[in-house]
Structure 1
Amino acid sequence: MIKLVGTGVWILLITLASVYFSLKMASAPKVDTAAAEREAAMEFVSGYTTTVPVIGEGGVNGYLLTKLAYKANKELAAKQVVPLPELITDELYTLLVGKKMIDIADVGSFDLEAFRGVVKEGLNRRFGANVIDEVYVEQIDYLTTASVEDPAPKRGVTLLKGEVPAQKTEGKSGGH
């Protein structure tokens, strides 16, 4: 009889403990309100396809085609006089023309994070505030001048093809 009562108490304790822990674990997760507010203050800005000449010895060696997108601070972006995509395109030319960001001979040496950092830092310096929070790379292509003059023998190289987060449909800036 004592074994039966002991077994009953043991089952009761196990049941109560499992109910307690399941309720404790099932409670609503803590929301980081600061992170949620930061995310709500951001908007997605789709950039234009930008063609930047790669200048080397004796002239233009090829063209770098970039399609970038950005996560920008809505409030700071609204304060800009020139629309964000146009200002970004202008700054990309300033940042990339003449700089050896990508070594075409060694495509594997391309540092995507360094490229994003240079673009983000340069854009925020141009804006005078931290307008750009993230830089997304949709695609980077390189076309040699030979492939532009006679596209049949050489077609160019896709250096990187990335993914960009889905856009919300309301109130978006930029794009063609």
Structure 2
Amino acid sequence: MIKLVGTGVWVLLITLASVYFSLKMASAPKVDTAAAEHEAAMEFVTGYTTTIPVIGEGGVSGYFLTKLAYKANKDLAAKQVVPLPEMITDELYTLLVGKKMIDVADAGRFDLDAFRGVVKEGLNRRFGADVIEEVYVEQIDYLTTAAVQDPTPKRGETLVKGEVPVVAPAEKSGGH
């Protein structure tokens, strides 16, 4: 009889210990509230398709067509006097025409990560705060002047075809 009671107590202790440890291990994962709050403070901004002339050899030799999107801080973006998409378009002209970031003669050496970094850095400098967190490249194309003037449809050279994150319609802002 004592062996039976001892076995019952032993099974009871093992069962209680296993239930305790399984509940302890299966508790809800800890949520990084700082990261969640940071992500909630961001918004997705779709930029305009921007056509930038490439000037060389005494005139316009072609056109860059860019479509970029951005992850921006909602609060800091709301404080800007000029709407974000218009400011972004102006800064793209400054960076790509004024600083000639893309060399048409050597398009194969185009550094996409450096381009994103310079665009982000230039925009944040222009805003005077870290408004832009990420730059997404949807597409960058180059069309020669001859291709634009030719009546037969031709495609330009696609330099970069990126993937922009899918955002719910309520989260989008800006753009056409």
TM-score by length of 2: 0.82
Task: Flag the 1:25–1:141 CA change in 2: closer, same or farther, 3 A.
Answer: farther
| Matching of residue 72 in structure 1 with residue 72 in structure 2 | yes
Rounded to whole Å, the distance in 2 between the matches of 1:16 and 1:60 is 80
Q: CA deviation at 1:171?
A: 5.4
What's the counterpart of residue 36 of structure 2? Answer: 36
What's the counterpart of residue 144 of structure 2? Answer: 144
Q: Which whole-Å deviations, capped at 9, do the CAs of 1:94-125 have from their partners, x for residues lacking one?
A: 11114332333443321111000010011111
What's the counterpart of residue 58 of structure 2? Answer: 58
What's the counterpart of residue 3 of structure 2? Answer: none
Task: Flag the 1:118–1:151 CA change in 2: closer, same or farther, 3 A.
Answer: farther
List aligned pairs for 1:48-127, cutoff 5 A.
48-127=48-127
Structure 2: 5+ residue runs without aligned partners?
Answer: 1-9
Cα RMSD (Å): 2.6
Does the 8 A contact of 2:44 with 2:171 survive in 1?
A: no
What's the counterpart of residue 5 of structure 1? Answer: none
Rounded to whole Å, the distance in 1 between the matches of 2:76 and 2:153 is 47
What's the counterpart of residue 47 of structure 1? Answer: 47
Does the 8 A contact of 2:65 with 2:141 survive in 1?
A: yes
TM-score by length of 1: 0.82
Rounded to whole Å, the distance in 1 between the matches of 2:18 and 2:100 is 61
Count of residue pairs the alignment pairs up: 168
Task: Flag the 1:56–1:75 CA change in 2: closer, same or farther, 3 A.
Answer: same
Identity of aligned residues (%): 84
Structure 1: 5+ residue runs without aligned partners?
Answer: 1-8
